Amino acid sequence: MTDSASQPHDVGGTQPGAPVPRGQHPFHPWELRVDAIVWSLTDAERPGGRHMTVDELRRGIESMPAGDYENLGYYAKWLRSSIAIMAEKGLIDRAQVERRARELAAEHEREHS
C-alpha cells in the first residue's frame, strides 16, 4: 500500500491547499464520446449488462502515475482508465487500441497540416 499523503489524487488537479477551479470549458467532441462510452460501459440496464463500475473507473484513475494524474484532463483520465479496465478484463486488446490511436493521430495530422 502506498502512502496516501504522497499521492496527488483528490486535490482538484491543483496543488494541495489551492482553490479548486470551478470554470467550465466548452466540451470537445471527443470528450462527449468518452462520456457516452463510460456511461455505456457502466450501465447495468444496457443489453449485456455493465462492463465496469464507477468504482473500477476511479481505481483506474487513482492508479495512474502522479505525472499523468496531474497533467491529464478529466475525460483523458476517464479514457485511459476505461482502456486499462477493459484490457484488464480481456475485453479489448490494449496494443490494438494504441495502434489505432496512433493511426488516427497520423491521419488527423495529415488532414490538418
Residue 12 is predicted with a pLDDT of 52
Give dist(CA 94, CA 57) in Å, integer: 16
27-112: in CATH 1.10.472.20: yes
For residues 8 and 27, the answer to whether their CB atoms sit within 8 Å is no
In this prediction, the residues of the chain whose per-residue pLDDT falls under 50 are: 1-4
Predicted confidence (pLDDT) per residue in 66-93, tens digit? 999 989 999 999 999 999 999 999 999 9
pTM of structure: 0.77
Domain ranges of the chain: 27-112
Residue 72 is predicted with a pLDDT of 94
Provide the strand spans (E) within the chain. Answer: none
Distances (CA, A) of 101 to 14, 54, 79, 96: 29, 24, 12, 9
Residue 6 is predicted with a pLDDT of 53
